[in-house]
């Protein structure tokens, strides 16, 4: 009675509202509630299969299966990293502070080495040149000794020039000049001078 009276009360206050149908205007896809039941049953089954401890906390499925391997892998990784830290990439104390001085010292050593090599090379060249030129003269003297005086005279008469005569004159020493004078008479000298022009 009370419910009906209260129902009537609000209908008196709201006639437009009261005239509107109370039928459910909302709809659902066909077969929805059957599907919903099955879905809920499946989910409940999944929930019940999850691992629970006494506190009601759960873990992901198959969590403990791989846990041991993950822990071992982590141990190997951590130990490898710590070894690398000990063995590699460490520097001696004050390395960079002394680096500059050490580099300079090495440059200095390299320079003295270079000089010593150069000096040795020069000396070698000098000695070698001396030997070479001396040997040349000796060879020339040996070869000239095989040639007769008349052949030398004939060669000089054919091939000497005025400049050669001047060279010979300038390079005669006193002893050689004296010898030439002894071999040539005054008349031959006078005749030579009158017939040649310098």
Binding site for another protein (CB under 8 A): 3, 10, 13-17, 19-29, 32-33, 36-37, 39-41, 43-45, 47-48
- Least separation in angstroms between residue 68's CB and another protein is 29
Min separation Cβ 1 and another protein, Å: 14
Alpha-carbon separation of residue 65 from 54, 72, 127 (angstroms): 20, 13, 89
Q: How far is the CB of 61 from another protein (least distance, A)?
A: 16
Query: Which of 26/132 has CB closer to another protein?
Result: 26
Q: Give the shortest CB-52-to-another protein separation in angstroms.
A: 10
> For residues 10 and 64, which CB has a smaller minimum distance to another protein in the complex?
10
Closest CA to 198 of 176, 175, 177, 168: 168
CA distance 7 to 1: 10
Q: Closer CB to another protein, residue 7 or residue 164?
A: 7
**Burial of 86 per CB tally in 10 Å (0-12, 13-18, 19+):** exposed
By beta-carbon proximity to another protein, the closer residue of 14 and 191 is 14
Q: What is the Cα–Cα distance from 80 to 14, expressed in whole angstroms?
A: 81
Spatial separation of the C-alpha atoms in residues 187 and 56, rounded to whole Å: 150
């Amino acid at each position: 009675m009370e419910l009906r009276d209260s129902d009537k009360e609000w209908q008196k206050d709201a006639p437009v509202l009261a005239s509107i149908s109370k039928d459910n205007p909302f709809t659902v896809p066909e077969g929805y509630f059957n599907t919903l039941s099955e879905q809920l049953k499946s989910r409940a089954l999944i929930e019940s299969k999850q691992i629970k401890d006494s506190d009601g906390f759960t873990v992901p499925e198959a969590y403990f299966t791989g846990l041991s391997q993950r822990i071992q892998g982590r141990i190997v990784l951590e130990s490898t990293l710590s070894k690398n830290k000990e063995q590699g990439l460490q520097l001696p104390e004050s390395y960079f502070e002394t680096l500059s001085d050490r580099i300079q010292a090495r440059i200095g050593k390299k320079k003295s080495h270079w000089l010593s090599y150069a000096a040795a090379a020069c000396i070698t060249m000098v000695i070698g040149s001396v030997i070479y030129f001396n040997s040349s003269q000796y060879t020339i003297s040996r070869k000239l000794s095989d040639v007769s005086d008349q052949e030398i005279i004939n060669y000089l008469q054919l091939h000497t020039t005025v400049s050669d005569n001047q060279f010979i004159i300038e390079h005669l020493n006193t002893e050689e000049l004296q010898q030439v004078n002894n071999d040539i008479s005054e008349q031959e000298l006078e005749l030579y001078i009158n017939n040649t022009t310098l």
